[in-house]
Structure formats: structure tokens, C-alpha cells
């Protein structure tokens, strides 16, 4: 019994369920909440509800969106003939930070991983193939993580798309092998985009 | 613009405001929320509201309570003749984990710190003095942090209480000097309780 007050313990438990948050951090976070004003606490709770209910998936690229389409798919300034395929919405944010890429994205929401029972049908590959039917797309850049699963996914998708006459390229190995794309710095990601090679 | 979706960015900002939470951690936490089920997200938001509205201060010892009195002040098993004075509710939890102390507590909610404009009137010293008027209290144990501010607070309170004929003692220097009481281990805290000395 660290704190035998149910509402406090419950809040600590809620924070502790998050990945990478230990008991002490969860405690500190709960005390932060206790120290907020009434308005701030209500805003915090509302932010959770809002993010959860208002954020959907873009109907085109499966990235996060607050309407039917994400801001990138909605924009006329983006080159619709190039699609950059990533595993996760955070990878879109990482590539956007380079300010080098003007095409669109496709978010797979995962990578093929037979060990975890994730096959091609469990990630958004069908949705990607559906986007290639109207001939506007000329190139697909595979920007999955440089891990075994990411490589396997890139290989699988390139074999699927090449017979359709689409150029499939892969991020250059500027990205450090074995790491998470999310943590790559802007320069490394820019290099990787520049040096992309045909699969 | 990491994420140009207002509800998501707002949630990330909410998490990032917490002490010790950086941008990447706040992002991960926001994505954790997006991954919750509807019920779980509502429970999480409700836990914040509940903790904030239901947790009050105990009318006797100023510790956190979900009613007028905290569980320790309510309990008949606790020795009302000894008061252990701490800076923070987390310090109560730390001392409770030793299972050595059977008296009651008084939470100051801070320590005297002229640098931060915190004087004796900004912390709960008046409430402590008010508890000593009915002659049941025989000893006050000063368990403020072993820092400059904690020491100053202990000295101030001991000078205030000694003329009232109350024994005032201080935690033994089992607690490592300069550290936070909250992080002391159970054995160190037990030793410090055993070896307390008159001020």
C-alpha cells in the first residue's frame, strides 16, 4: 500500500500502464495532476477524450487525420505521383521534419512479422495497392524501418508492385541499421531520401 | 510542426508539461492513448477528474485524504501522542513502507525556503501548532528532508515547540544528506527512525 486512497492509486495505475513509465514516474505524474487547477485538470481529461475520439485514419493514406483525409492528402502542393511507405504515423512526422520530401505517404501500421503473427493482411498493404490503380502513381519509396521486419515488408511490397510497372525504391542506408526510423536525425533522413536505390 | 492535428498536438503538449517528461516520451504517451479502447480512454480521463476532485487534504494532518480525515488520522490503532512532521505526502508513503512507525503524521506541504519566498506562513506550521493544544501529543519527530531547507524548517519548528514542553526529535542521519526523503530505502528509513535524537 503506497497510497491507500483509491482515486489516487487508480490514477497512478493508469499512468503506470504506459510503456516506459515506472512506478516513481507514475507517482510524480499523479501528483502533478493533483497540483493542477480544476480547469487544467478538466482540460487534461478532455484532451485525452478529444484525441481519442477526433483522431481517425485518413481514408487514402491511413495516416492519422482529424477528418476523412489527412492534411497531406488534402494538400494540392503535394506530389501525388510519389508515395512514401512507412510503418507508423510517427515516421511520417520524422520524414516531414526533413522538409525534403514533397510526395504523399502510406502508413502500414506495422510490418510483416511472422513471429508476432503479423502477415501482409494484418497491415495496410491492400489499401496501398488500391491507390495504385488509377495510374497517377509513378514511384513508391519504401521507408519501413531498417530492421528485419521492415526489410521483409519492403521486399514483399516491391515484389507485389513491380509487375504493375511501378518504380519501387528503398531509403538509402543512411539510416543506422537496427535502429528505429522515429529516432533518426533530419540530416541522416535527408541523405537516405537522396540516395534511395531501386529494389 | 511535428503533428499538425490539433487534438493530438494538444494531448502531447499536456503530457509534456509534466516535470521530467520530454517531447519523445510525451509523443509515446499520446500514441498510447490513441491505442486505447473507447472505454479505456474514458476511464483514463475519468481517473484524472476523480483524483483531482475526490482527493482533499486531511483536516487534522494535511495529508491527502478522500474524506475529511485521512486513513491514518481515522485509525484507532495509531498512537496519537507522536506526530511525525514531513514535507510531502510522498514522504508519508515512504515512512509507512518501513512498517516501523505507529504514530500520526503532519504534512507541511513544503519547507521554509526564503530563496523561493516560502516562509513559515506558506507551509502548514499553524495547523501543526493547533494540534498541540490539547496535551495528547508528547513527541514531535521532525522528518523533513535532510537538505538546507528541511534542516531550517526542523530548527524553526523545534524552537517554536520546545517552550510548549513538547519533546522534539529529528530523524537520525541514516538518511543520506542532500537526497530526497522520498527515495530513501526502507532499511535506511528504519535506522533513521530508531536513532532519532533530541534537537
In angstroms, rounded to a whole number, what is the distance separating the alpha carbons of residues B39 and B34? 12
Range with the lowest mean pLDDT among A166-175, B34-43, B176-185? Answer: B176-185
- Grid cell at residue A2: 503506497
pLDDT tens string B58-72? 999 999 998 889 989
Quote the CA–CA distance of A153 and B138 in Å, as a whole number: 72
Q: Do A49 and B45 touch (CB under 8 A)?
A: yes
Grid cell locating A40: 487544467
> Among A51, A96, A183, which would you mutate to test the B interface (most chain B Cβ atoms within 10 Å of its Cβ)?
A51
Residue pLDDT, tens place only, B127-183? 999 998 888 899 999 999 888 899 899 999 999 998 888 999 987 766 666 777 777
Per the CB < 8 A criterion, the answer to whether A172 and A196 are in contact is yes
**Residue A69 to chain B, least CA–CA distance (Å):** 11
CA distance A21 to chain B (A): 9
User: A11-44 b/e with 16+ CB inside 10 Å = b?
Assistant: bbebbbebeebeeebbbbbbbbbbebeeeebbeb
| Residue A128: exposure state from Cβ atoms within 10 A (0-12, 13-18, ≥19) | buried
Strand order in the sheet with A79-86: A103-107, A79-86, A139-142, A167-170, A197-198
Q: Which residues share a beta bridge with B113?
A: B118
Chain A nearest-CA distance from B173, in A, is 24
Contact A90 B31 (CB under 8 A): yes
pTM value is 0.72
Amino acid at each position: 500500500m503506497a497510497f491507500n486512497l483509491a482515486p489516487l492509486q487508480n490514477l497512478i495505475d493508469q499512468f503506470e500502464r504506459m510503456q516506459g513509465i515506472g512506478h516513481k514516474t507514475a507517482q510524480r505524474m499523479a501528483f502533478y495532476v493533483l497540483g493542477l487547477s480544476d480547469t487544467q485538470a478538466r482540460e487534461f481529461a478532455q484532451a485525452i477524450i478529444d484525441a481519442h475520439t477526433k483522431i481517425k485514419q485518413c481514408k487514402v493514406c491511413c495516416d492519422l487525420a482529424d477528418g476523412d483525409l489527412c492534411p497531406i492528402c488534402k494538400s494540392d502542393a503535394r506530389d501525388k505521383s510519389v508515395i512514401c511507405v512507412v510503418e507508423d504515423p510517427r515516421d511520417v512526422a520524422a520524414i516531414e521534419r526533413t522538409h525534403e520530401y514533397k510526395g504523399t505517404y502510406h502508413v502500414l501500421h506495422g510490418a510483416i512479422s511472422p513471429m508476432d503473427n503479423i502477415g501482409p493482411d494484418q497491415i495496410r498493404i491492400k489499401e496501398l495497392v488500391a491507390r495504385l490503380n488509377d495510374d497517377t502513381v509513378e514511384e513508391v519509396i519504401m521507408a519501413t524501418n531498417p530492421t528485419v521486419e521492415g526489410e521483409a515488408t519492403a521486399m514483399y511490397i516491391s515484389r507485389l508492385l513491380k509487375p504493375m510497372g511501378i518504380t519501387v525504391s528503398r531509403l538509402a542506408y543512411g539510416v543506422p541499421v537496427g535502429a528505429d526510423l522515429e529516432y533518426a536525425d533530419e540530416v541522416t533522413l535527408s541523405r537516405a531520401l537522396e540516395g534511395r536505390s531501386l529494389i
